[in-house]
Amino acid sequence: MALVVASHRACAGHLTIPGHPERPQRLDAAIAGAALAGGEPIAVEVDEARALAAVERVHDPGLAPRLRDACARGPGLFDSPDNPISAGTFDAAVAAVAAALAAVDAVCGERARLAWVAVRPPGHHALRDRAMGFCFFNNVAVAAEELLARGLGPVGIVDFDVHHGNGTQEHFWARDDAYFLSLHHFPYYPGSGSADEVGVGAGHGFTRNVPLAGGADDAVYAEALAMGLDDLARTTTPRAWLVSAGFDAHVEDPLGGMAVSDAGFAELGRQIGAAAGTAPVVALLEGGYHPEALRRSVAAFLNGLQVTVTP
């Protein structure tokens, strides 16, 4: 199978407040977009013990129990005003991690070279001991640690969500087994991601931020990604790739303030696929808050990725 899709219906159980952009319809759009690109669903078993062990590779051991207890108490906010929770939020966050692990299983087992993880809540803002920015567990960092544990390192991580992936950057800040490349609106939430943030110690030069002004379009994004991928190739050769695929830079998105089209996301997919070559690629949903634009953008990105991923 050229493209497998890992998802779980429990991810729809994370209910936010009326008017909140991170809503269950996003999950349906992400799955529908993958179907348009020919994605084949795979079974995702939610093994809570395995998922939470994977979470503890990335997060403080107290984070998951705090989230479980908060969700058991009913609707409220968790760690920040933009993180509403419901009774189903903990199960949704665990299911998102389980889907990420299932995708890694698929590419490591050579069932596919490409996997799409259609989940919510997203993850790239989640810090070691704190949830923020609609994110509870850092799904892409969890997937990276799983790949590294299986000997598939170094890992290349590309994040093109309109918001900087501060949680992912923090996790790998001082490490050279993962290269983190981020294109994002700047200055913008969460405030990090300036070009001079490049990592420290062994990780110096393994973080590359490409901040972009508001209104950036297809041409700007394509040029920025090409530049970032060139820098990555000069620094390391990933044996596996991860993508924090946020589609809130779409021109129709209500939050991003950017001007990327469906075709622009197809080009991002094409470039990442070309850079990956024969290495496996696992892409995970981050942002994207216009359901119809999200559906089309996911399809375009995955089609672009498939054009250049070597079978």
Sign of the four-CA dihedral 31, 37, 41, 44 = negative
Helices (H), 173-284: 218-235, 262-276
How much is the average pLDDT of 124-132? 98
Q: What's the one-letter identity of residue 205?
A: G
Q: How far is CA 105 from CA 2, 110, 152, 226, 269, in A?
A: 15, 8, 12, 29, 22
| Residue 156, pLDDT above cutoff 60 | yes
Query: Which pLDDT score, from 0 to 100, does residue 309 have?
Result: 58
With a CB cutoff of 8 Å and minimum separation 6, the contacts of 212 are 183, 184, 185, 186, 220, 221, 224, 258
Query: Which pLDDT score, from 0 to 100, does residue 307 have?
Result: 87
How much is the average pLDDT of 271-293? 97
Q: Does domain 3-308 have CATH number 3.40.800.20?
A: yes
Q: Which sequence positions are flagged as catalytic? A: 125
User: Which sequence spans correspond to the domains of the chain?
Assistant: 3-308
Q: What's the one-letter identity of residue 149?
A: A
pTM, whole model, 2 decimals?
Answer: 0.97
Query: Which pLDDT score, from 0 to 100, does residue 2 have?
Result: 86
Q: What percent of the chain has pLDDT over 90?
A: 96
Find residue 283's DSSP bridge partners: 116, 243
Q: Which run of H or E residues covers position 116?
A: strand 114-117
Pairing of strands 80-85, 76-78: antiparallel
| Residue 152, pLDDT above cutoff 80 | yes
Q: What percent of the chain has pLDDT over 70?
A: 99
